[in-house]
Amino acid sequence: MAGISNKCLYALRALLELSGLERGQARSIPAIAKNQDIPLKFLESIMRELKEAGFVSSTRGKEGGYRLVLNPNEFSPGQVVRTFQPPNSLPSTSCCFSQIVNEAEKAWFDQFDKCSFRDVLRKKAEQNSVPDFSI
């Protein structure tokens, strides 16, 4: 199956970075692109889409950048995924499998609602603080 697109993953990672900032603080595209290793121009277009969708706001000029509009506690990856990868609206020739297909799609999306950006951030922090004995 197709899974999640690169673009959508970039969007999630950019938003996760913004989630780590203090409320109202902004971060520039070049900074995010560098930290997250995302192609600059591509990120530009993604951030604009995120703005249109209402997830972030922006200010131009020096010291400008993007900031999160929503509270990371009440903001789930699912909301983003649904905007960036809209459901397939089932193949026109609906057959005996379309119900299964629809349910599968729903199950897929639902996974992204199970935690907030804050949760992801917390988990990331835990991972980084735990020493790695795997080698």
Q: Which amino acid is at 5?
A: S
Instruction: Tell me which of its own copies, DNA, none is bound by residue 114, counting a contact when its beta carbon lies within the kind-specific cut-off of 5 to 8 angstroms.
Output: its own copies
In the complex, least distance from residue 82 CB atom to its own copies, rounded to whole angstroms: 9
Enumerate residues 6+ apart whose C-beta is below 8 A from 86.
Answer: none
Instruction: Tell me which of DNA, its own copies, none is bound by residue 59, counting a contact when its beta carbon lies within the kind-specific cut-off of 5 to 8 angstroms.
Output: DNA
List 62, 63, 96, 129, residue binding its own copies (CB under 8 A): 96
In the complex, least distance from residue 133 CB atom to its own copies, rounded to whole angstroms: 18
**Does residue number 13 form part of the binding site for its own copies (CB under 8 A)?**
yes
